[in-house]
Amino acid sequence: MPEIDDSRLVSERDLSTELDLAVQVAREAGLIVNTFYVGAAEVEYKAPDEPVTEADRSANQHIVTRLREAFPEDGILSEEAKDDLTRLEKERVWIVDPLDGTKEFIARNGEFAVMIGLAIRGRPVLGVIHQPATGLLYTGVVGQGAYLYEADERISLHVSRKADPREMILVSSRSHRRRIMDEIRTALGIRRETVTGSVGLKVGHIVRRLADVYIHPSPGCKEWDLCAPEAVVRAAGGIMTDCWGNTLVYNQRDVRAHNGLIASNGTVHDRIVETVVQVVEAAGYNQDDGFW
């Protein structure tokens, strides 16, 4: 599938109001999450491998309320809010994960994030990723740049220019790494790997040049896991696709990313996709059925 020029979606749009509010709301939600993080949060399970806590629900309620007040005409898709599908009629949709990395939150390792993304006509154009445990906050508007806010400092973000997979650092999931990743890593010749929780924080590693590529050959991610991270990595000069190199499209009826994802600095993304496809198809997966 040919790449879409995301910059055209925002080139004539001033999204400063949206970005400022998303940053403010993400920080507010981070304070809510931290209240539970330093105290106690009851854990329930939506499914055997899908925990949810009071922190998820409280942060979700705050974010959704604030977005609806500010942008009543926009649609909202959030992990912890009931999806009535009215968003499918909207051109602009806020896509929210109030606590990405709930397992890491429960483990008290700090590797979780509040993520707020905005998609216009199915493409991510704006993303905010906030790590409450450290205070780090990433922003990105596609075509307009990405930034890291640390204390009172604003740092411009750009992905690395490494073009040899053997020199790249792979960032992997602490909680969801599949065995097939060992085969993919060997096929690419990648020698160094780091791990962290939250898709947003993995992308944070890429835009801070602490890593160069993230590969997730699994159907576990949903739109709220990907919208803000894709906006940030693209704003920093990188790229995100599914494992077969297809453009990710948002605000779909089925929100699951059945074909996994690859995020990279973009220099040899096609080559990485080609290698991943060879490995996963040899293992019996295909583009039509995905990883399911």
Class of domain 7-157: alpha beta
Structure token digits, residue 160: 């690395």
90: left (phi over 0), alpha (psi -120 to 50) or beta: beta
Q: Which fold has domain 165-282?
A: D-Maltodextrin-Binding Protein; domain 2 (3.40.190)
Judging by DSSP bridges, how do beta strands 239-241 and 261-264 pair with one another? antiparallel
Q: What is the pLDDT of residue 119?
A: 98
pLDDT tens, per residue, the chain with 292 residues: 345 556 565 655 789 999 999 999 999 999 999 998 877 666 777 776 777 788 899 999 999 999 999 999 999 999 999 999 999 999 999 999 999 988 898 888 999 999 999 999 999 999 999 999 999 999 999 999 999 999 889 999 999 999 999 999 999 988 777 899 999 999 999 999 999 999 999 999 999 999 999 999 999 899 999 999 999 999 999 999 999 999 999 999 999 999 999 999 999 999 999 999 999 999 999 999 999 8
Give the helix/strand (H/E) hosting 221: none
For 290, the enclosing helix (H) or strand (E) is none
Calpha distance 167→248 (Å, rounded): 27
Strand ranges (E), the chain: 43-47, 50-53, 75-78, 92-100, 113-120, 123-130, 137-141, 145-150, 153-157, 169-173, 192-196, 213-216, 239-241, 261-264
> What does DSSP say about strands 92-100 and 75-78: parallel, antiparallel, or unpaired?
parallel
Domain map (residue ranges) of the chain: 7-157, 165-282
Residue among 82, 111, 117, 83 at smallest CA distance from 97: 117
DSSP 223-246: HHHHHHHHHHHHHTT-EEE-TTSP
Closest CA to 22 of 122, 146, 113, 114: 114
- For 165-186, write each residue's pLDDT tens digit: 999 999 998 877 789 999 999 9
72: three-class secondary structure by DSSP: coil
Residue 199 token pair = 């898709």
Q: How far apart are CA 100 and CA 150, in angstroms?
A: 20
Q: What is the DSSP letter of 248?
A: P
